[in-house]
Chain A
Amino acid sequence: MEIKAERKVAYFIAIIFFFIGVICYAAFPIKKPEEPIRIMLTSTAGNVLFDHKEHASEDGYGIECLECHHTMEEGDTPEACGECHEAEEEDGILKKSDAFHGKCKICHEDEGSGPLKCAECHAM
C-alpha cells in the first residue's frame, strides 16, 4: 500500500474508533448493580475489599440485610453505610471506622470465622 493510501486508512480508523470510543463512554456508562458485589472501603490504614455478595447471598454467609443496615425498614432499599456514618463522629452517630470495626470484628468473633487482625482486612 502506498504511503498516501496508508495515511487515508489511518485517518479513517482514527475517526471511526474515536466515535466508537466516545459512544461507548457516553451511552454505556458502567452500571452499578442494584446490590453491590464488592466494595472497596478506602482507609489510611490500607484499603479493605469487602465482598458484599458473599456476605449477603444465600450461597455465601446469608447474613440478613438488617444485621448491618440497622436503620432499614422492611421493604425499603438499604442505605449505604456512609449515608449516616461520617469520617468523624457527629451527633452521637459512630464514625465510619468505628461502625465498621464494631460490626465486622464482633461478627467475626461471634461466628469464630473471618479475619480479626488489622492486616487481614486492611491489605489493599
Chain B
Amino acid sequence: MNNQKLFISSHAPYWHNMSSISAKSCHIMLAALPAVIMGIYQYGIPALGVVTFSVSCAMFWELIMNLVTKRPVSIGDGNAAVIGLLFAMLLPATTPWWIVLIGTFLAIIIGKEIYGGIGCNPLNPTLVALAMIMLSWKSYIDFDGALVNYDLAFLMKYPLEALKHFGTSAISEHTAVGLLMGRQSGGIGATFGLGLIIGGLYLILRGYIRWEISLSFLVGVFVTAFLFNISDPVTYAGPVFHLLTGYTLIGAFFLATEDSSSPVNFIPMLLYGAGAGCFTILIRNIGAFADGTVFAILLFNVANPLLDKIKPKAMGKGLEHA
C-alpha cells in the first residue's frame, strides 16, 4: 500500500495570510526606492518632478479608465503607482511633462487596461509605453541629448551609446565599482546598480518576484556578452560592463519579472529569462539600438504563452501508485 501523503487539506474556514496586491505593490516600490533616491540625489528636483508626476498620472489614468468602463476603482491596489514609478525610473531627468503624461497613458490604458486590467496584460505595460515613446520621440529618451546640461563628477556620455559608436576605448574610464555605485548617466532609477540589486534581492527573499527569471536573465546577459567579448574585445565590451549599464539590472529585477507577462513554470521561466538576456545583448551588439533590454523583454513577453506550455506539471501526474 502507498502510505505517502500526497496532499493535506482541511475544511473551511481558512485564515487569510494578509497578503494582498497592495502589499506587493508597496514592497516593489520600497525595493525601488534606493535607486530612485539616488537618481533624485544626482539629478535634483527635475528628477523628483518626473517621478512624482509619473506616479500620479498613472494613478489618474487608471481612475479615469475605471470610471469610463464603470468598473470598481482599482488604484488602491498600487499597481498603477508601480507602473508609473518604473516608467519614471527609465526616463532621463529632463523628460518633458507631456511625455510623462502620454507615456503613462500608453502604459496604463494601452499596456494594461484595454486587456482587462491587472493580471490580463500580455506585455509589460511599462515597457510598452517606453518602446512607443522611444520609437515616436527618440530624442527625448536620448540620454546624451537630454542630459547635456548636467556635469556630474563622472563621465557623462551614456555608456551604451559610447560603446556602440566608439568601441571599448570610449568606456575605459568606467569601473565596475563606479557603475555599481551609479557613476554613469542614464535613467533616473536605472543607474544605481547596488540599489537595484539590493531591491531585487529583497523582492526575491520576500517571494514577490521569481529568482529563476532574474537569475536566468542575468546569466543570459553575462554569457552572451562574454561570447561577444572573447570574439572581439575591441568592439564588444565585457559581460560585467553589460550587467551594470543601461536597463540590465532594473530589467532583471523589476521589468522581466512582471507577473502576468512572465511564465509560471520552472523551465519556461529559465528559458524566458535567458532568452531575454541573450536578446538584450544581441540588440546592443548587432542591433540598431544602444540598449536592447526594452525590446528583448517585450519579445519574450510575446513568447511567454508558448514558453509556458513546455512541460506543464499536471496535478498528481508522475506520482507512483497514484
A40 lies within 8 A of B49 (CB): no
Chain B 147-158: CB-based contact to A (< 8 A → 1; otherwise 0) = 011110000110
Contact A33:B45 (CB < 8 A) given known A7-B75, A17-B55? no
A residues at B contact (CB < 8 Å): 1, 3, 6-7, 9-11, 13-18, 20-25, 28, 30-33, 36-40, 47, 49, 53, 119-120, 123-124
Cβ contact within 8 Å between A14 and B56: yes
B49 / chain A contacts, CB cutoff of 8 Å: 20-21, 23-25, 28
* Chain A neighbourhood of B150, CB < 8 A: 37
Q: Which residues from chain A contact B73 at a C-beta distance below 8 Å?
A: 7
**Extra pairs beyond A21-B53, A21-B97 (5, CB < 8 Å):** A20-B49, A21-B49, A28-B46, A40-B148, A124-B145
A24 touches B149 (CB 8 A): no
Cα distance, A124 to B51, chains bound together (Å): 27
Taking a contact as CB atoms under 8 Å apart, the answer to whether B53 and A124 are in contact is no
With beta carbons under 8 angstroms apart, the residue of B53, B77, B144, B165 that contacts A18 is B53
Contact pick for A17, options B56, B157, B165, CB 8 Å:
B56
Flag whether B81 is at the interface (Cβ < 8 A).
Answer: yes
With CB as the reference atom, state the residue of chain A lying closest to B59.
A14
Count of B interface residues, CB-CB < 8 Å: 37
User: Interface code B33-70, partner A: CB below 8 Å = 1, 0 otherwise?
Assistant: 00000000000011011111111110110010000000
Kindly provide the distance from the CB of A81 to the nearest chain B CB, expressed in whole angstroms: 15
Contacts of A10 in B (CB 8 A): 59, 75-76, 78, 81
Binary contact track B222-247/A, C-beta < 8 Å → 1, others 0: 00000000000000000000000000
Cα distance, A40 to B147, chains bound together (Å): 10
A-B contact pairs, 27 of them (CB 8 A): A6-B78, A7-B76, A9-B76, A13-B55, A14-B55, A14-B56, A14-B59, A14-B81, A18-B56, A18-B60, A20-B52, A21-B49, A21-B54, A21-B56, A23-B49, A24-B52, A24-B53, A36-B148, A36-B149, A38-B144, A38-B149, A39-B148, A49-B145, A49-B148, A53-B151, A119-B165, A124-B145
Contact assessment for A24 and B145 in the assembled complex, using a CB-CB cutoff below 8 Å? no
**Cα distance A13–B48 when bound, in Å?**
15
What 1/0 mask marks residues of chain B from 17 to 41 whose CB sits below 8 Å from any chain A CB? 0001010000000000000000000
Q: Chain A residue with minimal CB distance to B53?
A: A21
Is residue B308 within 8 Å, beta carbon to beta carbon, of the partner chain? Answer: no
Is B166 on the interface with A (CB-CB < 8 A)?
yes
Query: Do residues A24 and B76 form an inter-chain contact, with CB atoms below 8 A?
Result: no
Give min CB distance, A41 to chain B, whole Å.
Answer: 10
A124 to B57, CA, bound (A): 31
